[in-house]
Structure 1
Amino acid sequence: MARSSSSLTSEDPAEAFIATLNLGAIETLALQARLNDKFEDRPLEERSSLPSNLSCTIHSPPEYGSYNVVYELTFSDGAHWALRIPYEEWNSIRATSMRLDILAQQYISSHTSVPIPHIHAYSCTTENALGHPYLITDFARGARLVDVWNDPSWWTGARRKERMFASLSRYMSELGSLEFDKIGRLDRVEPGGPYFIAPFPSRVALNDALDGPDGEMGPFSNLHEYLGTLLAERRKRYDSPRLAALSILLGSLPDPRYDSAPFIFNHPDFDSQNIFVDEGTAEVSAMIDWDGVAVVPRQLGALTYPAWITVDWDPIMYRLYKQKPHYDTEDDLHGYRTMYTALSQAQADVTRNSHVVSAIACAITEEHTTADIVHHLFNFVFGSSMFEALMGLENAPWYNIGLLDIARVTESHWNYFQNGDDSNEYNSADGEGEKDRGTGEDP
């Protein structure tokens, strides 16, 4: 979650949630967690009764994002922590996902030096003194990268973007060295038991275009099975030429060398708002917001590019980004990708064109991006013939065939293109062309 403050307004659901929180309960939880840390060598039942002049300051109002409220906690002994409380309606699926998030972070921290804030205490249920699930971690130190990336005055002296990228690449290479044989979520049945790859707890969390009953999905054996299943779920709900185009792109653009195992961890929101850098050196000091961390194909995992240097492959986001006083041009972004790829020769082949696969995944799972990313990818594949290709797809027998139809190509289909018929001009701004794949008829 972003650490920057959001204003509390009457329209914001966080305000009502914050008003219900008991600061006394927060203080009790924080102090008990700190005592547990200080006296971890003593039996648990003795810790709450040990004499201590420890005190905790809760910085209020808290900061918050779309899903979580975050309180900064400072202790009289110098400890500096953060308490994060989700304010979504809680259920068993979210509780399972939170448990798996914590398990994966602890696994990563014990096997790498990736700077994940240390977890001190947590509850994945509402059955605690606070009445809400919570997570207590170290406070992320440093400057948030999103706040300084486009500020030329910040990048002076030792603070160089090359140095930041070098430290980030080292950490992500470490993360990418942890390999697994399936795509899904890391799990284990009991503490000390063997790890295994479990299903994703929520199909809806994987794809914001899905609705209906939620439930598990996976695990998967390869990239095409994983993304193909997510795309098929969307096309069941409704179909469109753009989704059909995605099916073609998915079948042709991903590098087949990275389709199958090994699979690696991702950072589920690998973007500049979740990266903190040292104020003196610009090296990465913390990486936050690991909600939904999973084991995924290599070109979608730790070895992909950070999202802020591929923003030009998401046209909607790039249009918004270009409204900033200082922004990276497409040449700048291509230069950063070249720099990042060169930092790790061992992983360069995986990273080099990973942004193409990431764009396909984004178009499949984030409905509002689909049309623009499909156009961008078709431009990449077909160049100046992009719109002709999309129009042809919309009117082609393959896209319009019904479940009970026998495939055929008739003279009328050839005549359509020979005559240059533009009566069904492809409209990039709306959802025309959607149809029910069950009948082959327009809804």
Structure 2
Amino acid sequence: MSYIDSEREVFGPLVDIPEESLVLLASDICKRVFNAQGTNGKRVAQIFGSYNVVNIMQLDDVKLVIRIPACGWGSGKTEAAARALESQVATMHLIAQKTSIPIPQVYDFDTTDDNAIGAPYICMSFIPGTPVSQVWFRDTDIMRREELRLNILRSLAGAMAQLSQFTFDKMGSISSVDPSSASLSPCYAWYEGDDGTMQVVTSGPFDSTIAYLDANRDKNNEGNEYNEWDKAEQKIMDVITPFSVINDESCHFVLCHPDLDSQNVMVDDRGNVTGLIDWDMTMTMPHCQGYAAYPSWIMRDWDPIVYDWPYEDTEDSPETLQRYRSYYNDQIIRALGWKGDWKFTEHSHIAQAVWIATLSKRNRLEICRKLVQVALDTGEDNALDILYDIGTDYYAEEDWDELKTKLRQVVSQRLN
């Protein structure tokens, strides 16, 4: 199967939209937005992401981006998908109006297929720079690499701190540039349908974090068998959840990037952030998962199923990641001036791990193993053996009591 054929399984006919149609659309937008003819148009790049086809268009001296969502064909074309696209636009407008965070400028969008390309789209400005994912490991000079990395984290902390001005009374998605709970729509999320197409599902809005977790946990759970590993997971989660900061009953929520990972942060040659991209499915979040949390790529060791150290050269050691977390924590405190949610940053990697374990069956066992490993200061294999003993009821009662105490100490971050 060719690369394009594999992408066609997700994006269907969106893969085959003619370049001429994209140029026609881009030219029309140039005329309406820039009062320019937009001649000599061409597509200079096409990028297939997880959920969008990104077409980079060049017309004379204007470069712009046309993003087509994966739900823009077949059964994915729903009212929820249309509202999710509108929410993305409203979110980006809000951030652009109220902050100086570098994000793409939205020029035009359409939630229907009644246009030149026959599909929903959002057209925005081109963001210069290189994704952090392409530069984090690039420089072989250790000193230059370290300087670049620290500049990236410093610059990013300054950008994220600007989101501290937004607070909300519910968990939901932005539906207008008025940042009030009255303008919050449901939470939107990607979901793979039975026919393989990507679809948008909705839930909420929610008055509490607990309500959101109850409504969304295990949506991607595969199979219904319950074995010793499932039992071990459940017992660990029952211990840690009541003591985790994600169980906070706070009725206030904040704004954050929906996927603050290295591929969505653009930087220049010195590591200054030039843009944050991919704002689809943004929603308000509890403080522990908000703007003050660490970026995902320096928390990878706390989601072991995606962490390949020491087997891959493009992974940092746990010690290195902890060092970067400490630095980012200091930079957030400076950027916020000891105000806002700075106190949630230091342990946000642990809160994130519990959050993921709560919502995702796929990741849960390895996160539980990580928690046991840290709580008992033991090795991976021994932690897994302990989980098996817990699941088969062979773990001694006194050892279980000790482990429960230490697990609660690891995850407990009750903040005054």
Of the two, which has the highest radius of gyration? Answer: 1
Displacement, 1:56?
4.4
Equivalent in 288, 298, 316 of residue 287 of structure 2? 298
SS of equivalent to 2:103:
coil
1:367-389 per-residue CA deviation (whole Å, 9 max, x = no partner) reads 32121112112333455585676
Asked whether 1:141 is paired with 2:128, we answer: yes
Aligned positions of 1:294-443 closer than 5 A: 294-319=283-308, 322-345=310-333, 346=338, 347-384=341-378, 386=383, 390-391=387-388, 393-394=390-391, 417=396
Match of 1:271 in 2: 261
Gaps of 5+ in 1: 1-6, 40-51, 397-412, 421-443
Displacement, 1:272?
0.4
Separation in 1, partners of 2:377, 2:178:
54
Q: State the identity %.
A: 23
Separation in 2, partners of 1:116, 1:125:
24
Match of 1:123 in 2: 110
Asked whether 1:98 is paired with 2:85, we answer: yes
Aligned positions of 1:248-267 closer than 5 A: 248-254=239-245, 259-267=249-257
Separation in 2, partners of 1:260, 1:193:
17
Displacement, 1:235?
8.7
Match of 2:18 in 1: 22
CA contact (8 A) 1:82 1:136 kept: yes
TM-score normalised by length of structure 1: 0.74
Aligned positions of 1:170-249 closer than 5 A: 170-188=158-176, 196-201=183-188, 205=191, 216-231=202-217, 238=224, 240-241=230-231, 242-249=233-240
| C-alpha distance 177-243 of structure 1, shift in aligned 2 (>3 A) | farther
Asked whether 1:165 is paired with 2:153, we answer: yes
Asked whether 1:63 is paired with 2:47, we answer: yes
Asked whether 1:35 is paired with 2:40, we answer: no
Q: Which residue identity does 1:54 align to in structure 2?
A: G
Displacement, 1:294?
0.5
SS of equivalent to 2:217:
helix
Separation in 2, partners of 1:389, 1:308:
28
| C-alpha distance 201-267 of structure 1, shift in aligned 2 (>3 A) | closer
Match of 1:54 in 2: 38
| C-alpha distance 245-157 of structure 1, shift in aligned 2 (>3 A) | closer
Match of 2:5 in 1: 10
| C-alpha distance 122-243 of structure 1, shift in aligned 2 (>3 A) | farther
Q: Which residue identity does 1:28 align to in structure 2?
A: L
Match of 2:412 in 1: none
Separation in 2, partners of 1:329, 1:304:
20
Gaps of 5+ in 2: 400-416
Separation in 1, partners of 2:102, 2:306:
28
Separation in 1, partners of 2:397, 2:151:
56
Displacement, 1:330?
0.8
Displacement, 1:10?
3.3
Q: Which residue identity does 1:175 align to in structure 2?
A: L
SS of equivalent to 1:370:
helix
CA contact (8 A) 1:71 1:83 kept: yes
Separation in 2, partners of 1:115, 1:148:
19
SS of equivalent to 1:11:
helix
CA contact (8 A) 2:67 2:122 kept: yes
Tell me the number of residue pairs that the alignment of Structure 1 and Structure 2 aligns. Answer: 374
CA contact (8 A) 1:118 1:138 kept: yes
Alpha-carbon RMSD across the aligned residues, in angstroms, is 3.5
SS of equivalent to 1:334:
helix
Q: Which residue identity does 1:38 align to in structure 2?
A: F
| C-alpha distance 418-278 of structure 1, shift in aligned 2 (>3 A) | closer
Displacement, 1:311?
0.5
Q: Which residue identity does 1:80 align to in structure 2?
A: K
Separation in 1, partners of 2:386, 2:315:
32
SS of equivalent to 1:349:
helix
| C-alpha distance 388-23 of structure 1, shift in aligned 2 (>3 A) | closer
Separation in 1, partners of 2:167, 2:179:
19
| C-alpha distance 305-75 of structure 1, shift in aligned 2 (>3 A) | same
SS of equivalent to 2:56:
strand
Match of 1:406 in 2: none
CA contact (8 A) 1:187 1:195 kept: no
TM-score normalised by length of structure 2: 0.79
| C-alpha distance 26-215 of structure 1, shift in aligned 2 (>3 A) | closer
SS of equivalent to 2:294:
coil
Q: Which residue identity does 2:276 align to in structure 1?
A: M
CA contact (8 A) 1:81 1:139 kept: yes
SS of equivalent to 2:144:
coil
1:135-191 per-residue CA deviation (whole Å, 9 max, x = no partner) reads 111112112110110123477399532222111001111113211111111224x99
CA contact (8 A) 2:168 2:180 kept: no
| C-alpha distance 85-56 of structure 1, shift in aligned 2 (>3 A) | farther
